[in-house]
Amino acid sequence: MPHRQPELTLTSRLLLKAAGATERWTPPTQWTVAFVSLLAVCALDMVSGARVMPLFFYLLVAGLAAWSFGERKGALFGLLVSLSGVTVRYFQMSADPHLAMVPELWNLFARVLTASLVVVLVSGMRSAIQLERWRASTDGLTGVLNKSAFQERMTAAAGAARGTERAFILCYMDIDGFKQINDRHGHSAGDEILRLFASAAMDAIRDGDLFARIGGDEFVALINIPAVGQGDYVATLVHRRISDILAKTGLPVTCSMGALVATAGELQPIEAAVQLADSLMYEVKRSGKSALRVGRIDPAKGLIAPDFLRIESDSAALTSFGNRSCVMAPDRRAA
């Protein structure tokens, strides 16, 4: 069969909207919504009387909990939903002696089973959606972000920082010697180099920064810094860390990096900012490779790039800078 994109149905659209809405809820909000909903359903059950069973609303609350909390916490809350229904039914049976005990016990047991089934199905659906969303945003070879996901999150990060003094370093990285590895040792060795480089770069930046493979042996990173003036130091530190990790492998590979230091507003449009960082990296490639070049955007003069910052920079200065926790966490590999 032809490989075509599946049709987005009304149900799938509603599920995706629900996933996006609940993911923005904080844990206190999730618990508050769940408990308030459960209390409202119990009140409705008491008011409606023994002849009307609002089972649908109990299951809706159980499903909401499973979607918000995941399988384990959702199962516990689903049990609470079932026990709440049992408690309400007990009081109704006490007030109405005409209700038969055996059928009611079966109905209560069936209610517990139905709520458990809803929790399992909803939590499984949520996990499946999250897995597919992760796959859609991840580079299959290296496990880091892909190009489209990086651009989306970069746009969100720049938007959140607008109006503040915070700035960013947009790093564009290329692996020196990658083609030779592919030619001499095959594509499997090249794939291993890509995975190794991605791992080294992820170790060189903080967990909250963005890193992605955008094609071939080219990668990008977005690093958050307190101010533009700290961009040179952070970019140099990141390049040093990556270069040190690659050097310890014993393989003939190094890193050429272009780093654009900019405010949130200067990163717009995203494609233009990435092209500027790319141009800085290619200046490094044309001038000997295995180096770093940092550039800034001047409203009057455009892109300004100072002299090259090579990896033989002062190690003592980099170590001192690395200990400034307000800017960049110390090298985690040193522990």
Question: Percentage of residues in the chain with pLDDT exceeding 90?
Answer: 19
Of 80, 95, 96, which is closest to residue 41 (Cα–Cα)? 80
Higher-confidence residue: 213 or 15?
Answer: 213
Angle between helix axes 27-48 and 71-95 (nearest 10 degrees) is 20
> Same domain for 270 and 125?
no
299 pLDDT exceeds 50?
yes
Which domain range does residue 98 map to?
10-136
Distance, CA of 314 to CA of 295 (rounded, Å): 20
Q: Is the C-alpha dihedral spanning 275, 276, 277, 282 positive or negative?
A: positive
Q: Say which residue the tokens 């963005």 belong to.
A: 210
Q: What is the pLDDT of residue 186?
A: 85
Q: What average pLDDT does the segment 294-306 reach?
A: 67
Q: 141 in a domain, yes or no?
A: no
Residues 168 and 190 in one domain: yes
pLDDT of residue 323: 31
Average pLDDT over residues 18-39: 81
Angle at 42 between CA 40 and CA 46, to 5 degrees: 115
- Report d(CA 313, CA 331) in Å as an integer: 16
Q: 49: alpha, beta or left, given left = phi > 0 and alpha = psi -120 to 50?
A: left
pLDDT at residue 312 is higher than 80:
no
In a domain, 142, yes or no: no
Please indicate, yes or no, if residue 91 is contained in any of the structural domains.
Answer: yes
179 with 109, same domain: the answer is no
Residue by residue, DSSP assigns 301-320 as TEEE--S-EETTS-HHHHHH
Residues 215 and 91 in one domain: no
Say whether pLDDT at 146 is over 90. yes
Higher pLDDT among residues 256 and 73, named by residue: 256
Do 65 and 22 belong together in one domain? yes
pLDDT interval class at 300 (50, 70, 90): low
What pLDDT shows up at residue 41?
A: 87
Residue 335's SS3 state is coil
pLDDT in the model for residue 168:
93
* 254 and 279 assigned to the same domain: yes
Residue 268, pLDDT > 90, answer no
Sequence-ordered alpha helix ranges (H) in the chain: 10-23, 27-48, 55-69, 71-95, 101-136, 147-161, 178-185, 187-204, 231-247, 270-286, 315-322
3 falls within a domain:
no
Residue 160 in domain: yes
- Final residue before a domain boundary, out of 136, 171, 196: 136
> Per-residue confidence at 324, pLDDT binned at 50, 70, 90?
very low
Last residue of some domain: 91, 117, 136? Answer: 136
- For strands 218-225 and 254-263, give the pairing: unpaired
Give the pLDDT band of residue 318 (cuts 50, 70, 90).
very low
- Residue 285's identity, in one-letter code, is K
Check whether residue 152 and residue 101 sit in a common domain.
Answer: no
151/149 Cα distance (integer angstroms): 5
Instruction: Return the closest-CA partner of residue 246 out of 325, 188, 181, 305.
Output: 181
Output the domain CATH number for residue 295. 3.30.70.270
Read off the pTM. 0.67
- Verify that 166 and 77 share a domain, yes or no: no
Same domain assignment for residues 266 and 287: yes
Distance CA 297, CA 261 (A): 8
User: Which of 112, 136, 160 corresponds to the end of one domain?
Assistant: 136
Confidence band of 255 (pLDDT split at 50, 70, 90) = very high
Question: Residue 202 contacts by C-beta under 8 Å, 6 or more apart in sequence?
Answer: 144, 211
Q: Give the CA dihedral 279, 282, 286, 290, nearest 10 degrees.
A: 130
The more confidently predicted of residues 51 and 176 is 176
> Do 128 and 255 reside in the same domain of the chain?
no
pLDDT of residue 327: 34
Radius of gyration of the chain (CA): 28
Q: Are residues 230 and 314 in the same domain?
A: yes
Same domain, 203 and 312: yes
pLDDT for res 212: 95
The verdict on residue 161 lying in a domain is yes
Among candidate residues 9, 12, 28, the one with its CA nearest the CA of residue 20: 12
The domain total for the chain is 2
Percent of the chain with pLDDT over 70: 79
Contacts of 272 (CB under 8 A, 6+ apart): none
Query: 16: pLDDT confidence band, cut at 50, 70 and 90?
Result: low
DSSP codes joined into one string, 57-82: HHHHHHHHHHHHH-HHHHHHHHHHHH
Of the two residues 317 and 166, the one the predictor is more confident about is 166
Look at residue 176 and tell me if it is in a domain. Answer: yes
Give the pLDDT score at 106. 67
